[in-house]
Amino acid sequence: MKIFPIAVCTLLVAASSATSAQAPGRVMTMTRTAKQFGDLEIRIDDAARKHDQAALEKLLAPRFEQRDAAAPGQPLPRADFIQHLLAQSRGDGFAMGDIAVHEFGTTAVVSYAATQFVVDVWVKSGDDYQLAVRYIGGPAAATKGVNPKL
């Protein structure tokens, strides 16, 4: 009878170590949709770094606004957002991680971690997508692994 509990424990330890051994070497593949919207996010950053106002105007919907968790009642209008991006010195661009895309017909909700946690709402306009609303929150590292109670 003592063999059964020992065998069960041995199997559990073996399964546990096999799972943990796979985790560090796990390769995440990006979906085609995540790549598509990640590329759009990068195009916004590239246009800002190159001070290309025309490219920004094309990527942003006419009624675009940015909403910040720090000032939820004070949205940043499109024109001010563009001027803010053009005034920034961005160096080599930004790093984006943990991208997720949820599509709802002609609308896509894209979230990712950069220096802040960002949620963008993209709307299809003709053959292209335009950024309609951007929501930004606190530092991305502070949100990682946190599951706040609502």
Higher pLDDT, 113 or 29: 113
Domains and CATH numbers, the chain: 32-143 (3.10.450.50)
Instruction: Quote the pLDDT of residue 29.
Output: 60
Contact 133, 121 (CB under 8 A): yes
Contact 69, 53 (CB under 8 A): no
Instruction: Quote the pLDDT of residue 140.
Output: 59
Could you give the CA distance from residue 65 to residue 68 in angstroms, rounded to a whole number?
10
Instruction: Quote the pLDDT of residue 146.
Output: 41
What interhelical angle do 32-49 and 78-87 show, nearest 10? 70
Q: What is the pLDDT of residues 90-140, one digit of tens each?
A: 666 667 788 999 999 999 999 998 888 999 999 999 999 999 999 999 775
Which 8-state DSSP code applies to residue 88? S
Could you give the CA distance from residue 59 to residue 43 in angstroms, rounded to a whole number?
8
* Arithmetic mean of pLDDT, 36-64: 94
